[in-house]
Amino acid sequence: MKNIAVFASGSGSNFQAIINEIERGELSAHIALLVCDKSEAKAIERAKSHEIDTFVFNPNAYVSKEEFEQEIVDELQTRNIEFIVLAGYMRLIGTTLLRSFEGKIVNIHPSLLPSFPGKDAIGQALLAGVKVTGVTIHYVDEGMDTGQIIAQEAVSVDEDETRETLTTKIQQVEHRLYYKTLKDLLSK
């Protein structure tokens, strides 16, 4: 069973979905740490309710990205983290983390990359009027959602789709696809 860290910045719905699969015995992993850059994020409450250690930091309290990423690396190494799962972490990963965990960081994104990278992918899809969007799981590299794609699944966009209904549809796919993909990746 691998020690993993989950990075999140917001509500942590994908984080919770991963916790649920671990607790059901469907995913063989131990979440040893939640890393969060927002002290008010709901993901922190989720971690505490499942007795998962947290490392919460304010990026503005550091001189540089390298400085806070080195502190994160130190926290990860202290807990023998083998794999990092980004679940709504809204920061680009820098070279300090990438060097320390090369090929061991994955992200989930609410679009069929390379379409609609970056923030508000759901809003971008709605604005573009596409009939299909989806979910992508990919390795993290130095770019914005540019890493090697591991898995994708399409989600249809209905004519009367709203941001809320499309978000719900995408999250349902995310929760299932992330767990299945992590199950494969962590068994290697």
Q: Which CATH class name applies to 2-186?
A: alpha beta
Mean pLDDT value of segment 68-90: 96
Mean pLDDT value of segment 3-29: 95
Please report, for residues 7, 15, 30, 109, the alpha-carbon distance to residue 90 in angstroms, rounded to integers and kept in the order given: 9, 14, 23, 11
Dist. CA 172–CA 144, nearest whole Å: 24
* Encoded tokens for 32: 């040893």
Mean pLDDT value of segment 162-180: 95
Say which amino acid occupies 49.
S
Mean pLDDT value of segment 38-61: 96
Got the DSSP string for 8-46?
Answer: ESS--HHHHHHHHHHHTTSS-EEEEEEEES-TT-HHHHH
pLDDT, residue 47, reads: 97
pLDDT band at 64 (very low <50, low <70, confident <90, very high): very high
Question: Which residue's structure tokens are 């199950």?
Answer: 183
* Encoded tokens for 8: 């999140």
pLDDT one-digit tens code per residue, 121-140 = 999 999 999 999 999 999 99
Question: Which residue's structure tokens are 């860290």?
Answer: 5
pLDDT band at 78 (very low <50, low <70, confident <90, very high): very high
pLDDT, residue 1, reads: 87
Which among 30, 109, 138, 175 is annotated as catalytic? 109
What pTM did the predictor assign? 0.94
- Helix (H) / strand (E) element for 57: namely none
pLDDT, residue 188, reads: 77
Mean pLDDT value of segment 21-38: 95
74 class by beta-carbon count within 10 Å (0-12 exposed, 13-18 middle, 19+ buried):
exposed
* Encoded tokens for 105: 């960081």
pLDDT band at 116 (very low <50, low <70, confident <90, very high): very high
Q: Is the pLDDT of residue 15 over 80?
A: yes
Question: Is 109 among the residues known to form the active site?
Answer: yes
| Cβ contact 186:4 at 8 Å | yes
